[in-house]
Amino acid sequence: MDAPKLTYFDFAGGRAEPARLAFHLGGIAFEDHRFAPAEFAEVRKTTPLNQVPTLQIGGEQVTQSDAITRYAGKLAGLYPEDPVQALYCDEVMSALEDVTIRIGNTFGLAGDALKSAREALAADLLPRYLRWLDSRLEAHGGEYLADRRLTIADLKAFVLLGWLASGKLDHIPTDLVDTVAPKLAAYVARIAAIPAIAAWYEVRG
Residue-wise pLDDT for 83-104, tens only, equals 999 999 999 999 999 999 999 9
pLDDT digits (tens, 9 = 90+) for 2-27: 899 999 999 999 999 999 999 999 99
Give me the domains of the chain, ranges plus CATH numbers.
Answer: 5-77 (3.40.30.10), 83-200 (1.20.1050.10)
Tell me if 191 sits within 8 A of 144, measured CB to CB: no
Closest CA to 22 of 64, 63, 68, 59: 68
54: DSSP letter: E
Tell me if 89 sits within 8 A of 146, measured CB to CB: yes
Which of 1-5, 78-82, 124-128, 140-144 is predicted least confidently?
1-5
Long-range Cβ contact pairs of 116-119 (< 8 A, separation 24 or more): 118/169, 118/170, 118/171, 118/172, 119/171
pLDDT digits (tens, 9 = 90+) for 92-138: 999 999 999 999 999 999 999 999 999 999 999 999 999 999 999 99
